[in-house]
Amino acid sequence: MSSPVRHYVGGDFDASGEPFPLVDPVHGRVVGEVPAAPAELVDRAVRAAREALRGPWGSWSPAERARALHRVADGIESRFEEFVAAECADTGKPRELAATVDIPRAVANFRSYADLLAGRAEQSWHTGTPDGRGALNYTVRKPLGVVAVISPWNLPLLLLTWKVAPALAMGNTVVAKPSELTPSTAVLLAEVTAEAGLPAGTFNLVHGKGAGAAGQWLTEHPGIDAIAFTGESGTGTTIMRAAAARLAPVSFELGGKNAGLVFADADLDAAVAGTVRSAFTHSGQVCLCTERLYVERPVLEEFADRLAAEARKLTGYGPMISAAHRDKVLGYLTRAAADGQVLAGGAAPRFGDDRDDGFWIEPTVLTGLPEDHPAVREEIFGPVVHLAPFDTEEEALTLANTGPYGLAATVWTTDLARAHRVAPALDVGIAWVNTWNLRDLRTPFGGVKASGIGREGGDHSLDFFSEPMNVCVKL
Ligand code: NAD
């Protein structure tokens, strides 16, 4: 049993605010409650973060901050099973996923930014002057100040810490608001930051919904100096408006409608296995999941048969996060069944036990829909992939690059030259060749078009969460 959901403000846990129910998506049952932070508490969190910036945390050296981040990582590792259990309870995801991806990645987020920070050099230049004595320019990186971190429900701790770690590394203080659907691991993280000796007010946590609640109040708060957000593109637009009012910088990781391209020369075993992962991991509730697959015509039929057979065999997958999300996905499936063909899945599974009250959808393979169909154009964020044929490399690129999003894409081919031609020509932030979701945390991560603004990962995050300042000294 995880800790009760509480806010963490200025070093104190607090359960103030009208509670709303926390629902277990596996069985559709209310299992707890989440206090909705009142506006006054959001304000107090921002003020506590400002004070910590002026006070102890602001005076810690980069080396001290790096050590603190490693202590947070140690703290997560020492309570690993508690974190895994809390993540699984909130999201319904299989234990294996939380234990091999979510929680280890949260640990790695803290460690990798701590190590990068420790190894970061500052820049300097010698400049000529008319009197020949010269000048020395050097750049110092300062924190932005108080940063709001707003995160979604699909990879709750992973995505929260992906922003919190670099923000803290660069000396900022944080007010975090996790998704109202998955608040529990953030509470454990708050406990760990306290155990790791982070000064009160360095990391603050408020719970609540977005519009007309804690999320909106945080983004509109004049004391917030920057906003790091992961979530839907539409929410990004709303948050950008709030940030624009005071010209606060934003870093946005938003939605996707990711394409996969399977060329006839691909290793089909690898392409089928890779697509099973890329379409159905966490029941398609990963921003990087493939929802559109374009297959070169000569291998389409074989590929479709094999993918559908694998989808039908899948067990051990998790539910949709909520009844509302399940209904949204089912809405797409109903329209797709009327307008195209369902090769596998297409409905809610029946288990014959208490999971039938949960929010499940079968792994689904669709085909035969026009490119402008909502199930092909819009982000479904469920275990649903649509297959369509292509005849030329040029057509494959046009299909993949059409649409409002540009997060990630995957190319399956054994032709080396083609791989290097096609991958960089994709309008996305991340392209994989013969793999999916293989990540090195130092590489740039993010999307183009409606999929995001800015890049996270490695130095990209450390640069976003800091302001370079030049000092020029006449020698
Ligand atoms: P969401 O936009 O509904 O919510 C995300 C967070 O924003 C939540 O904490 C929510 O409470 C808050 N929020 C909502 N409205 C707000 C408002 N008006 N002001 C301030 N905060 C507000 O997204 P979601 O449903 O939680 O997550 C799924 C979406 O996230 C999908 O679109 C998915 O593609 C995207 N996503 C993107 C990435 C990426 O790295 N690009 C990663 C994961 C998820």
What pLDDT, in 10s, does the model give residues 283-294? 999 999 999 999
Catalytic site residue from 51, 88, 180, 287 = 287
Catalytic site residue from 51, 82, 253, 291 = 253
Mutate to test the pocket of ligand 1, among 101, 102, 155, 230 (most ligand atoms within 8 A of CB): 230
Neighbouring residues of 449: CB distance < 8 A, sequence distance ≥ 6? 404, 405, 406, 427
Sign of CA dihedral 6, 7, 9, 14: negative
Q: What is the dihedral of CA 181, 186, 188, 192, to 10 degrees?
A: 180
Contact criterion met (CB below 8 Å) for 143 and 60: no
Q: Which residue bears the tokens 């299989």?
A: 94
Domains of the chain (ranges; CATH) run 7-254+451-474 (3.40.605.10), 258-440 (3.40.309.10)
Task: Establish whether 472 is a catalytic residue.
Answer: no
Predicted pLDDT at 231: 98
Mutate to test the pocket of ligand 1, among 149, 150, 240, 327 (most ligand atoms within 8 A of CB): 150
Ligand 1, atom nearest to 253 Cα: 41
Contact criterion met (CB below 8 Å) for 314 and 279: no
Predicted pLDDT at 122: 87
pLDDT tens string 30-83: 999 999 999 999 999 999 999 999 999 999 999 999 999 999 999 999 999 999
Residue 61 has which token pair?
């050296």
Largest CA distance in the chain: 87
| Ligand 1 proximal residues by C-beta, below 6 Å | 150-154, 159, 177, 179-180, 209-211, 215-216, 219, 230-232, 235, 238-239, 253-256, 287, 379, 381, 407, 447, 452
Contact criterion met (CB below 8 Å) for 392 and 422: no
Separation CA 50–CA 365 (nearest Å): 50
Please, where are the H alpha helices in 55-183?
56-59, 62-78, 80-91, 95-97, 103-118, 156-169
Which residues on adjacent β-strands are paired with residue 387? 293, 367
Separation CA 380–CA 20 (nearest Å): 26
Predicted pLDDT at 403: 97
User: 130 φ, ψ to 5°?
Assistant: -55, -30
Separation CA 115–CA 405 (nearest Å): 33
Predicted pLDDT at 3: 80
CA distances from 243 to 215, 232, 246, 401 (A): 12, 16, 6, 29
Please list the pLDDT of the chain residue by residue as tens digits (475 residues): 568 999 999 999 999 999 999 999 999 999 999 999 999 999 999 999 999 999 999 999 999 999 999 999 999 999 999 999 999 999 999 999 999 999 999 999 999 999 999 889 889 999 999 999 999 999 999 999 999 999 999 999 999 999 999 999 999 999 999 999 999 999 999 999 999 999 999 999 999 999 999 999 999 999 999 999 999 999 999 999 999 999 999 999 999 999 999 999 999 999 999 999 999 999 999 999 999 999 999 999 999 999 999 999 999 999 999 999 999 999 999 999 999 999 999 999 999 999 999 999 999 999 999 999 999 999 999 999 999 999 999 999 999 999 999 999 999 999 999 999 999 999 999 999 999 999 999 999 999 999 999 999 999 999 999 999 999 999 9
Separation CA 312–CA 365 (nearest Å): 9
Separation CA 174–CA 472 (nearest Å): 31
CA distances from 73 to 111, 140, 179, 193 (A): 6, 27, 22, 9
Which amino acid residue places its CA nearest to atom 40 of ligand 1?
Answer: 253
Predicted pLDDT at 110: 98
Q: Is the overall model pTM greater than 0.85, yes or no?
A: yes
Residue 34 has which token pair?
């989440």
pLDDT tens string 368-383: 999 999 999 999 999 9
| Type of residue at 192 | V
Residue 187 has which token pair?
């509470």
